[in-house]
Amino acid sequence: MADIDMSKVTVIPYVSMADASVHDHSTRDKQFPGLHNDLLFLWAMADTADGKRYELVRTLSASATYDFTVHECSTELWSDPRNVWFPGENDLYWGPILWIEREGEQTLFPANLDMRAKHPIRVSLGPERYVWKEHRDGVDIVLTPLPMNVTTIYVPGPPDDVGYTSSGCSVSGSIQGSPIVGGYGGLDRMYCLPGMSAQVSKIAELEHYWFVWGAVFADGHWETGNAMLGAGDYATATFHRQGADPIVATNREVGSKVVWETKGDVRQPVHARLEFGGRTFTFDATHNAAAAAVSMGIAWMHGNVREQGAPEPVQCWSTMEVIKIRATPRD
């Protein structure tokens, strides 16, 4: 990729929302012209019956899986989470994989037979559910896509064309044998030009913050949001209330403020405000979810998102992903 200061370039994203049922979940997915699906991320923030909050992330590609973390999040914002499992010889699978289509689903199999026996893993992706099992069912979850809840982003133009999809899901199953009592997660996929890695693509360079949230209300309906803040004026945002038309905004249509605080020698963002589509949402951190595993310079804070002037949700799960080398306070 050419060396371009993205903060000085007008980047125009094309953003829409779709239903997961219409998507090709194979690694051959060609929904963006001329681009290939390079990386997939399964992720979840989940509460269990034993009172714990977990963050789970698994990185997949067409041929390998190499990044994973399950950690128990801390309600003390200035304390690191407790790592439960991560990649490596004595923990979880890290190595070559195969994808096989079975009954309309794409199912992953470890290609390293020795490691397969030590660290069993099963991932199946389909239009109605994403199944994720690891560590002899220590992780045993099902992600169920919510209706019309895939945020789709296409950003053509120099220095390279890129695409991204983020499917928001409810979460069920168990972690370490404890039933999941609520959560929000999904499947994110990055698309780039042939011969390029998504990790060094334009969209990787653009991202500074990424907010994702799901909330359930007293009558049972879901509301979800997905907002990325990037270099310069770059921004994307979607909001969807079940039964209503989605709201989509880009660049200067998205207002933002991110407040950082300092304690000792640690400085991190803890509050934020997003404004788009005539609505204002506030984020207040509740859990430190920053993994110490192979996180590629990414930190996470979990929190509550509230829409100003709207009813309070019964339950809410939100994450603020922070790209540490680029993210700075926003006034």
DSSP letter for 289, please: -
H/E element holding 118?
helix 113-118
Query: 327: which 2 tokens?
Result: 């993210």
For the chain, the C-alpha Rg in angstroms (whole number) is 19
DSSP letter for 91, please: S
d(CA 308, CA 239): 14
Please answer whether residues 261 and 272 qualify as being in contact, where contact means their C-beta atoms are separated by less than 8 angstroms: no
Place of tokens 């133009």: 157
Contacts of 262 (CB under 8 A, 6+ apart): none
Q: Which residues of 47-79 are buried (b: 16+ CB within 10 A; e: fewer)?
A: bbeeeebbbbbbbbbeeebebbbbbbbbeebee
d(CA 10, CA 157): 10
* pLDDT of 1: 44
* pLDDT of 115: 84
| Alpha-carbon torsion, ordered 6, 249, 150, 206, to 10 deg | 10
pLDDT per position in the chain (331 positions), as tens?
446 666 666 899 999 999 999 999 998 999 999 999 999 999 999 999 999 999 999 999 999 998 788 999 999 999 989 989 988 777 889 899 999 998 889 999 999 888 888 888 999 999 999 999 998 889 999 999 999 999 999 999 988 999 999 999 999 999 999 999 999 999 999 999 999 999 889 988 899 999 999 999 999 999 999 999 998 899 999 999 999 999 999 999 999 999 999 999 999 999 999 999 999 999 999 999 987 654 557 889 999 999 999 999 999 999 999 998 899 999 8
* pLDDT of 324: 87
User: What does pTM read for this prediction?
Assistant: 0.94
